[in-house]
Chains A and B, each alone.
Chain A
């Protein structure tokens, strides 16, 4: 009896797997929805909110949760350009690429940088936002008036785990590179409690943080004084499955139609909408 049960379970698993394997390429003409994955915890790119407004999109399968942010606005633009209904899924950062590969989502629009490591598993669109890397510091700390990386010699600097920002820290000579933390909330706490002297973040994110925390400010670096970055490092792109080639061209076309000024406008608007 138990053997039969085992066989049934195996059979069901095999059938389910084969029935759900990804089709060859996302077909825009036959699909009606496009599913976008984001973290919903990375303001001002994307965050979760309980109140609707003109920009929010409901988070799938979570009544009462809406996604807002620059990424959400861009996702809506792309969906409109493709003539598809936008569906948003909130997924933990580490789970985004696996979810994409598994077919749970079709795109990742989550403030993700198109690093060469990631490009080995997924395809990236043209950048949809360009930014710079800044340093967030305490107003009453030793580094509030820093202007270049050299000023951070001997400082305790930290960044989020698994991000480009963490890699950049080592460019500072004599830096005390602290162990990476899980999320931006932890970085802010570390800084406020004087466990760190500063953390590296993208400008929009830094702006959002500073708006919500009056004890903090951020340092921008003029050319030459800041981090040395490749173009990919300071941009964010849409990630897709490598086989969705038709989708990739369509998205790039859609992005080309949105000017840099419009995009920056969206980012500023998102910053004002972010709870602060």
Chain B
């Protein structure tokens, strides 16, 4: 099945912080959208459609906010679509937008993910009962901690691998002006000595709660060719999902994750994943998910992802596969935007526009997002050449 080419031609982000008390929800999304349009050298009238994503509506208590935000995003007389796939939503939103270009339906699509978490409390919003669905009832950390312990036992990883990931991502964040956490004086010892929040997850190994929005302008092949700036070409896209509980489920390395990765690397014609990908933006809300996903994505053998962390392979300085040069979810987490940020940062790296956290000579990058009980996956591979 042939697809039309699609390019990322614009990226826009807000500064991420605990509370953006100075703007309305509409003002927040417009800030990111406007910056993406500016980067793409376009105006609102150039856009054919908008695809917007966010996490559950309970976060802000506005039901179906896409309806009220349509005019704020220039959608009068144009289509707007809302996507929701839990924490992976920012990634799957970008992929739905991509499919509109690849299918030849639109030439220029604005896609945006946002969350204004300061309007409620994320742990509350992830613990509440909802009709006919299983409540995890203790926030995301309470859900993921036994899975992380299982990985620690199975891989026999040294105890402080998670702390190494957390410290690395917070160091990376210092190079990203948009990152929420800028902990200039943080030491590794402070990461290790932080209190256990959901044992074995320390407070320092968890993501913050952020307000923010991230937007991209996606264009067709002719739009990409006409851009005066470098663009990032979509070389592969994939989404997968699975139920969050069933007998025999591999929760550490879910089948949906493995199959999503196999699909996206196959589409991009990649056989040696670690060598052929130059930089990864991976969804790591709890530190141990970096080695876990390194294995699931096939960058490391099963049980050996932690060795890449220990060797510094994922550090922006000297690593052969830098992971989360932006600081990642561990440094910035407006949930509905977090997947979009991974995808957008992957695009900035290919476009050589990541500023102080740019990795030299990036030709191909992977953007990755997951959500729910590690049950929804979205991935894309971008390159500096057309597929």
* Genuine A/B complex: no
